[in-house]
Amino acid sequence: MGDLVDKAALAARFGKAAESYDQFALLQKDVGRQLLQLIPEQNYSQGLDLGCGSGFFLPDLRKLCGHLTAVDISMGMLAKAKSYALADLHICGDAETLPFMDGSFDLVFSSLAIQWCNDLAQAFAEIKRVLTSQGYGLFATLTKGSLEELNQAWAGVDDQQHVNQFLTKEQINQHLDTAQVCCIQNQVVTHTLFYSNVADILRSLKGIGASQVNGKRNQGLLTRQQLVTLENAYEQYRQPNGLLPITYQVCYGVICR
């Protein structure tokens, strides 16, 4: 995935976006709803929302789990999630080092969180470790090809990296194998959102705290000339409906021990 993710910067960025997150998180809502549909039908006594963000899916998970724990790397997001008052515990933690005993949960739900891990195999191993022998772990994560229109448009502006880099499905499968995790369902689905202009696309990414955090980052502010150049480069993607697309490739997986 390129250079290592700065977890402190990641937590700060998501924390700053906590109040605006639900307003801009159109993709996150679509993906989470689809991931919920993949949860096997059974009674769950102990559930974990791993990377709970603002807590948007806590109401759905509360209906499925007798006891629900919410974990996020961002204290700001956890504070927002607490406003739902639906999780029994709210814990600041990292998916690569979960602060739980082995076999603590029979359901782990993680939607669009593990793409920020530096060692995905370790995250998968941790999910497996905290699952009961009859438990299920569900994940959705971005894959290579996400934000490709924006990436290509930026290539027409300069040679800096402006867009996060994501793993291929094959690389994700390799991490699953390394973690010795049994994945009983694994598919990539394309999600496309549409916006009126490039400024709205950039605003939406900033609004969910998902501005670029891995790889070499251009720290300077976007100049007016850069924005104009970016807008012109993006025009090649404008659709017959007059809108600009932004495409995401999302890998959905269901794992068990």
- Residue 115: its pLDDT value, please? 92
Q: b/e string for 140-174 if b means 16 or more Cβ within 10 A? A: bbbbbbbbbbbeebbeebeeebbbbbbbebeebee
**Nearest residue to 56 (alpha-carbon basis) of 18, 92, 11, 89:** 18
The ranges of the chain with pLDDT < 70 are 1-3, 210-221
Give the CA-trace dihedral at 162, 20, 118, 65, to 10 degrees.
-150
- Bridging pattern class, strands 105-111 and 89-92: unpaired
Taking the mean position of all CA atoms in its chain, how far away is CA 204? Answer: 14
- Residue 1: its pLDDT value, please? 47
**DSSP 3-state of 81:** helix
Token couple for 41:
């039908």
- Residue 240: its pLDDT value, please? 95
Token couple for 199:
């400024």
- Residue 6: its pLDDT value, please? 82
Model confidence over 208-231: pLDDT tens digits?
Answer: 876 655 555 555 567 889 999 999
- Residue 212: its pLDDT value, please? 58
Q: How far apart are CA 250 and CA 9, in angstroms?
A: 24
Q: How far apart are CA 23 and CA 26, in angstroms?
A: 8
Residue identified by tokens 């998180």 is: 25
- Residue 19: its pLDDT value, please? 84
CATH 3.20.20.140 fits 7-146+163-192+248-256, yes or no: no
